[in-house]
Amino acid sequence: MFSVAIDGPSGAGKSSVSKAVCNAVGFRHIDTGAMYRALGYAAVKSGVDVSDEAEVQAMLDKLDVNVKFDDEGQKVFVNGEDVTGKIRTEQISAMASDISKLPCVRAFLLGLQRKTAEEYNVIMDGRDIGTVVLPDAQLKIYLTASVEKRAERRYQELLAKNENVEYNKVLENAIIRDKQDMERKTAPLRPADDAVIVDTTDMSFDESVKMITKLIKERM
């Protein structure tokens, strides 16, 4: 199987670019951020204090997190509930970043992530795919862009969904999340030593898709 790992900070376009590239090359897209978001959703719903690892572990012990794939792509389920459409809010973004710091959470999701990559050609996106989850991926990409550009894209996305937000708040949240994701002890966000760095600050969406599709075709 051919595996592509795409890591990078929030808002770099990992998910949307990965989806489009998957359509072009016929691969399956696995969005690991959605799995962390699903756990963030579960924590919000059950009122768990995510700074208390024992409390989070107790929640995980009773939790079933699963993914399914259909024509629209990946769907994430928490105890049978399809949460795919409910995990893209600013609240869940912050919660996912908080909860993803915990080693017990990372261990909980690792098996699920590796299992989904076993029988298919995949593009898996996240923060530690090239460094931890799929260290033998045939192609590793670190997709990034300036924090201002990423916040702007996220802001436009939220506006389109009629969410009432200010650009400055989105930028502030992006800076906090970057710091948290890059400075945590377990599986911090960083490019794998053998990753190709793709900076999309001045690239259009189509240019990013073309470039990554080309990298995959060359490597195959």
E-strand ranges in the chain read 3-7, 28-31, 65-70, 73-78, 81-82, 122-126, 139-144, 196-199
Examine residue 37 and tell whether it contacts ligand DC (CB under 6 A): yes
Examine residue 18 and tell whether it contacts ligand DC (CB under 6 A): no
Nearest to 117 by CA among 103, 145, 101, 137: 137
For ligand DC, give the closer residue by CB, 185 or 220: 185
Taking residue 15's Cβ as centre, other Cβ atoms within 10 Å add up to: 21
Q: Which of 3, 32, 84, 131 binds ligand DC (CB under 6 A)?
A: 32
C-alpha–C-alpha distance, residues 32 and 123, integer Å: 11
C-alpha–C-alpha distance, residues 108 and 131, integer Å: 17
Q: Which of 100, 116, 144, 200 binds ligand DC (CB under 6 A)?
A: 100
Phi, psi of 78 (to 5 degrees): -120, 115
Examine residue 36 and tell whether it contacts ligand DC (CB under 6 A): yes
Nearest to 126 by CA among 89, 74, 82: 74
Answer for the pair 218, 141: CB distance below 8 angstroms, yes or no.
no
Stretch of residues binding ligand DC (CB under 6 A), selected from 55-63, 94-102, 143-151, 204-212: 94-102
Question: In whole angstroms, how close is the CB of 23 to ligand DC at the nearest point?
Answer: 19
Question: In whole angstroms, how close is the CB of 81 to ligand DC at the nearest point?
Answer: 18
For ligand DC, give the closer residue by CB, 73 or 126: 126
Q: What angle do CA 172, 178, 181 make, to 5 degrees?
A: 140
For ligand DC, give the closer residue by CB, 197 or 220: 197
**Binding mask 43-82 vs ligand DC (x if CB under 6 A, - otherwise)?**
----------------------------------------
Phi, psi of 118 (to 5 degrees): -65, -45
Please tell me the count of residues contacting ligand DC according to CB under 6 A: 14
Question: In whole angstroms, how close is the CB of 181 to ligand DC at the nearest point?
Answer: 5
Site for ligand DC in 126-185 (CB under 6 A): 126-129, 177, 181
**Which parts of this chain interact with ligand DC (CB under 6 A)?**
10, 32-33, 36-37, 96-97, 100, 126-129, 177, 181
